[in-house]
Chain A
């Protein structure tokens, strides 16, 4: 692990540090609040390059629905500024500190780099969809601008999408512009208790086929539901947001369209908010070091994937994004069972699985990110090299077993 931390106070200074590293052939670990440091393949770098000194909202006019901030700006500061104007980041980013026992200050740049999105993602888009523009320092120490502050933009190659979800292996983000949206006036959640996960999948699919504009669709098995404040057994939860009269009208439509909702209950705004925060932050699986998988599949395949895995290894799962996102925690801290997990994904129609949390030695022995078909992996490596030719940034974080040289 790196020892010395560099905290540049300006983009230009950051670029100088990168140029120096490039000239000397050394490496840098990029850190915002360092709260997601435990994600990815373990790697080492000569020095830490922190964005903590690049902080502050640089441009925000609520009527424009865009907020620009330096990469090290605490997310809390951004959410406070948005809340003051009744706005929000619509992709509903989770706070994953609980998963890792981290106590740093999560920064907006890291959120972009990790492309973290919450329950509303399956209808409102991901962090990468809201990210309109970036400034970053590439591996040669050049300052690059891409995208902008407008919602429609097809001017040149969209490097913004590439930077989102690159976990700091392409460059150092120095400034990000996010699309923001008005907060809903109110929300409610319909709670439907059902026993079978395939019934739950059908129920969620039916809900998404209505015009009720469901903005959260999750299924919590009994143990998880209990830990999320929902009593009465396993629960399928459907969220509606908007102006109060509209929410009421859509709730009526939703209930009329779904079978077996006679015994359903509704959560008021406060209870609804707290439930979706728990789902967003993966609170049911907070604490400890049990292996935690984030599995992305077609919505109807989620419960089949989990069932197939849990027939072979002990653990528990819950489902967000209409079933398309499976959070799966395994009981045995010493085994991530990557083979079992990924073979289940492949057998159920494909998708991908990321080992979000596991002890360092487990991650070192496991492909953390989904292994890709050879031509795609080769292409991805060529793209990476086009941004960071010498492999300065977070070397090896996204690639297993040093198919890429660590410094």
Chain B
């Protein structure tokens, strides 16, 4: 397998390991510092497990002040810093390196304020995504972005990767639901961006920070938007004879002026895998499945579904199945949300995250199967069709080095295909290390240099998550 390169550990830092650990010990309570070799192992990777690097130390601060003290120390001593949420990154965004200190926000997990009248929640950055919705659910509210990892992933990580989820067709991604952050800059300066008021007071630094993959600072608190829950929600399954037809149906639903909360797509291999795992009642005699979810009162949903079903009939839909109960609805979603886990039970896989304009869905699906077939591999497609965010899962055997290399090559080709179709490399997982070396396919070096200059305004010494996002061989990086 072609190894993705990391920056070489700075020998002077590694040599000063004991001194740095001692320095950190003076800044945080003993139970907030991990230096024992065995205890460091859980932090050596994230959900992109093919790559592992044991960090120099892990700090799990309890307060913004502690984060600031550690950042200031690392900055003064030239020590790289790797921000970490729950470590669920699929792109290697939280993988450390031997000369780096990991700052994890997991101990900062308090919900600080729920304000229903202003429809905001202020939380510490280590709060998990789902916990916010759980906390406000009884009062009829929810937090909209819902990545598949929402049980574990933190708001800090969601902000880092601008996470999405299945329901962002209607409610947007993290950046559209984030009102403010408290953030520690590289030198320990603490700043507040945004708050309960809408729009930026000056330049939209909050918009820049969201999705910056831990390269601009460490988020310690966030203010997020709460939304009143709909009266009800109902997913409906539509089975089609081909992926192309399903794709055309999606385009027509949207073209008719209907924006469901979610439109999820699964092809035959994905249906088989998810059904075997979740017993969700997915039809087995179809080539492609759409899960279309509508919201509102029963009457509203009936009216909306009537329109959608009429459109699907025009595309010769083979199976239509409405969920009849909340439990059935939950099972339908369980099948979809467990797609990655269920796939992991039948094979190893790599998950792509390219996004394409909606008009290109059919073309990209077809070419994706061609590419994967060319490498003699299998692919399962499960993705957010409403917003063009594709998730082809390329199946392979991790113990077969040749096959692993093929899978990686096929993945890279698929991502290039997405870019060439007018899309992008990553919709919601982030670049991390995984897609870093493909950045020059989407951007020119001039484009990337502009991003690097903006990055340098935050982190002039290149200490924050340094091996990520930007190709290592850019001239501007090498100058650093």
Contacts and interface: CB of A to CB of B under 8 A. Distances in A.
Contact of A153 (B212, B303, B427): B427
Contact of B303 (A61, A243, A375, A383): A243
B208 A162 contact: yes
Contacts of A352: 197, 199, 201
Interface stretch (A20-28, A102-110, A177-185, A308-316): A177-185
B454 A152 contact: no
Given A157-B212, A158-B208, A298-B118, A148 B423 contact: yes
A176 interface: no
Contacts of A62: 255
A227 interface: no
A150 B456 contact: no
A128 B389 contact: no
A384 B203 contact: yes
A115 interface: yes
A379 interface: yes
Contacts of A161: 175, 204, 206-208, 210
Interface string B287-311: 0000000001101100110010000
A159 B175 CA distance: 13
A262 interface: no
A243 to B, nearest CB: 7
B197 A398 contact: no
Contacts of A296: 197-199, 201
Contacts of A259: none
Contacts of A151: 168-169, 173, 355, 387-389
Interface in B232-281: 251-252, 254-259
B412 to A, nearest CB: 14
Interface stretch (A1-9, A50-58, A245-253, A357-365): A245-253
B192 A373 contact: yes
A226 interface: no
A386 B453 contact: yes
A145 B196 contact: no
Contacts of A297: 196-197
Interface in A128-155: 128-129, 138, 142-146, 148-155
B429 to A, nearest CB: 7
Contacts of A307: none
Given A144-B446, A154-B427, A298-B120, A126 B199 contact: yes
Contacts of A152: 164, 168, 173, 355, 384, 387-389, 427-428
A38 interface: no
Interface stretch (B40-48, B223-231, B336-344, B399-407): B223-231
A145 B422 CA distance: 13
A339 interface: no
B447 A162 contact: no
B228 A209 contact: yes
Contact of B208 (A64, A205, A209, A383): A383
Contacts of A182: 254, 256-259
A130 to B, nearest CB: 9
B354 to A, nearest CB: 9
Contacts of A233: none
Interface of A: 61-66, 86-87, 115, 117, 121-122, 125-126, 128-129, 138, 142-146, 148-162, 164-166, 181-183, 185, 202, 205, 208-211, 213, 243, 245-246, 249-250, 253, 296-301, 321, 324-325, 349-352, 354, 369-370, 372-373, 375-377, 379-380, 382-387, 398
10 contacts: A63-B251, A126-B199, A145-B444, A150-B424, A155-B426, A157-B211, A298-B195, A300-B118, A376-B193, A380-B205
Given A213-B230, A387-B453, 13 more contacts: A126-B198, A144-B450, A151-B169, A152-B164, A152-B387, A153-B424, A158-B212, A162-B207, A162-B454, A182-B257, A185-B257, A324-B118, A351-B197
Task: Give 7 nearest A-B pairs by CB, closest first.
Answer: A161-B207, A182-B257, A152-B427, A352-B201, A298-B196, A351-B197, A382-B457
